[in-house]
A and B are shown apart, each in its own frame.
Chain A
Amino acid sequence: MIKHVPVLLVAIPLLAAFMIPMIGMVNRTARTVVGVIALVMILAASYYIAGDILVHGRILYYMVGSSNPEMLTEHGLTFPIRIGLKIDPFSLFFIIMTTTLVLIFYVFSTQYIEENERKNYFTVLFITMVAGMMGLLVANDLFTFFVFLEILSISSAALVAFRTERKHPPYAGYKYMFVSAVATSFFLLGVAFLYAQYGSFNIDYLKEAIRGTLLDKIAIVLLIIPLAMKSGVVPMHMWIPDTYSEAPAPISAMVKLGSLICLYGLFRISFSFGMSHAHVSYPLGVLFIVFGILSMFVGVTQALVQKDVKRLMAFHAVSQVGYMLLGMGVGLTVVKSGDASFALFGKVAMIGGLLHVVNNALYKGLLFLTSGVMVRHFKTRNLDAMHGLAHYDVFTTVVFMIAALAISGIPPFNGFVSKIIIYESVFQYNPVLTLIAIFVSILTLASFMKVFYSAFLGMPSSRRPMEQPVLVKCSMFVLAVFIVVIGIYPQGILKAIIEPAVNALINF
């Protein structure tokens, strides 16, 4: 059974997405339940394989269409197709994070998105988006990766434009689709460059075959820049505030998660293809650092002056990507240095960067969900028109505070843990980078103080207080619990998941 998990992670949500419209026509509750069952199944599957992969170091390979799916070559294929799937500790880390979060966001959306005939579309697109994410994470060949990148992009764009009755969401969806189309076209060009040279799409094969030629370098650039654009790296970030602010709250969180999965692709390709050649890995690492610092600084300074709560949070999403790039960039610069730098601080910087990915997904997800609650209560995204929410909604106030303190790097929440790891390790590489990172953290705190002061404090609002539905509260509560638990006991996730993931990225 375990050998089929890679394909099941994609097949289950795809099958559910096809079933949901038909079920939705008969019974709306059944449609929602089918979505939950599909997401619970992939969550269970990801935890089911975790022990084998993380403890015993097993790597799952799957060749779709083969009579023996675990065979690595095309021999024994029943059909002349070669869709190679693979799960190693690095992809498993992202899979566990994704399957956990999509279930929480879905549960939130079941009561947050109003029930009408369009909810069927919403559910189908949501589950298709999950299938796209899963496909990206298990793909072991570049063409399959491209296909799932397209699936993710199309479903995301449609969900961003979900509220078509309003003026701006369709425009934001179009913008996202345009950015994605440009990015994936260039990505496909990069894939073609590698295929033309080596005759294979397989990432493992290409990793060994790549010789660091001029064409290889061009291909690497064409592969990683589209992924950087989809991750929201400055200066290719301007689609993010437009998209995140117009999407419904759970979709903002999902698109953010999709960006983090593109970051997975960026790291996978950079380390797989760049690491074996120091003349590629070093400049690539330096560029990661430069883009990281730019993203951190531009993102946070832009966030600080926003008065639209969702745009403010979107700019913070840009800023937080900078920390991840900084940690991973420092690791990439010293990974082939031949001296003790990598053991001394490079690997720890990568661990900090990866921990920040999951931390960011948690508190950013929670912030987007709370922003949805705020917007629903005040009927506006304008912070100037908000005040006094804390008088009625203590629960949202508390979870918002937890998320805001976490993103600002305040102990004992999870953001502090990943930031302190990044600060300490990056300090040994270059102290100035740490100083910039700390400065950005201070501005982040200032920015969220502004939100808290504007929306939660002050005179009570004249609007009738709205009781949040149970599932909306439950989803936010679970995210808040994760934030606190990782903050108080980070050793568990560091030892069990993050460290094996970093080892896998370097060694496999």
Chain B
Amino acid sequence: MNILQVEYLHWAPLFWLGIFIGLAVVVVIIGKLFFRNDYNTVDQQSLPFYSGTSNSLLQLITASSLYWGFKHTLDAYFLMIKRLFISDVEDFIQWFIIIVAGMLLILTGVLW
């Protein structure tokens, strides 16, 4: 197997970068030619719409609120991780001993 010999593509990032820049230029030209540029930028129509929110700071959804669905779905997993790793120094020793014992059993052929 050759390094960087990807199955369907040749490794040429500059080529792909060129393609990307070319496409971006085409999009900008099309935008200049066909997109509307007569919208009013001084009033609120250019701002994002958040229903009922008058405070501009509240328009930012905080980091804790992002991916709430993902977190909620994996609640059980995160609870398990929390229980397993309490980040206490005793916890470090406990895991260290478990891994040393487990690896000894595997490498010495008891569990392998």
Contact = CB atoms under 8 A, between A and B. Distances in A.
Interface string A259-292: 0000000000000000000011001100100000
Contact of B67 (A304, A411, A490): A304
Nearest to A298: B81
Contacts of A397: none
Interface string A474-493: 00000000000001101100
Interface of A: 175, 178-179, 182-183, 186, 214, 217-218, 220-222, 224-225, 228-229, 235-239, 241-242, 279-280, 283-284, 287, 298, 301-302, 304-305, 307, 343-345, 348, 351, 383-384, 386-387, 411-412, 417, 420-421, 424-425, 428, 446, 450-451, 453-454, 457-459, 487-488, 490-491, 494, 499
5 contacts: A225-B96, A279-B109, A287-B103, A384-B62, A387-B60
A454 B63 CA distance: 6
Given A217-B104, A458-B60, A178 B92 contact: yes
Interface residues of B, number: 44
Contact of A235 (B78, B99, B104, B106): B99
Given A283-B112, A412-B13, A494 B70 contact: no
A387 B96 CA distance: 40
Contacts of B76: none
Nearest to B93: A182
A450 B92 contact: no
B74 interface: yes
Contacts of A284: 107
A317 to B, nearest CB: 15
B30 interface: no
B33 interface: no
B42 interface: no
A424 B8 CA distance: 12
Given A175-B89, A182-B96, A424-B1, 7 more contacts: A186-B100, A217-B108, A225-B99, A235-B84, A236-B99, A420-B4, A488-B13
A258 B89 CA distance: 21
Nearest to B108: A217
B60 to A, nearest CB: 4
Contact of B81 (A279, A302, A412, A425): A302
Contacts of A287: 103, 106
A178 B64 contact: no
Contact of A217 (B4, B100, B107): B107
A384 B64 CA distance: 7
The 4 closest A-B pairs by CB, nearest first: A383-B63, A412-B13, A454-B63, A458-B60
A450 B84 contact: no
Given A225-B103, A304-B70, A348 B77 contact: no
A446 B67 contact: yes
Nearest to B109: A279
Given A221-B104, A305-B78, A421-B3, A412 B16 contact: yes
A487 B11 CA distance: 11
A218 to B, nearest CB: 6
B63 A351 contact: no
Interface string B66-80: 110011001001100
Given A287-B103, A412-B17, A178 B3 contact: no
A428 B93 CA distance: 37
Nearest to B101: A221
A428 B16 contact: no
Contacts of A224: 103
A343 to B, nearest CB: 8
A417 B4 contact: yes
B96 A236 contact: yes
A343 B3 CA distance: 11
A282 to B, nearest CB: 9
Given A178-B92, A283-B107, A284-B107, A494 B4 contact: yes
Given A225-B100, A236-B99, A420 B6 contact: yes
A238 B70 contact: no
B56 interface: yes
Nearest to B71: A305
A218 B85 contact: no
Given A307-B64, A384-B64, A490-B4, A214 B108 contact: yes
Nearest to B67: A304
Contacts of A457: 60
B4 A344 contact: no
Nearest to A453: B66
Given A225-B103, A235-B85, A421 B108 contact: no
A420 to B, nearest CB: 7
A307 B7 CA distance: 39
A280 B106 CA distance: 10
Contacts of A351: 3
Contact of B89 (A178, A222, A412): A178
A396 to B, nearest CB: 18
Contacts of A235: 84-85, 95, 98-99
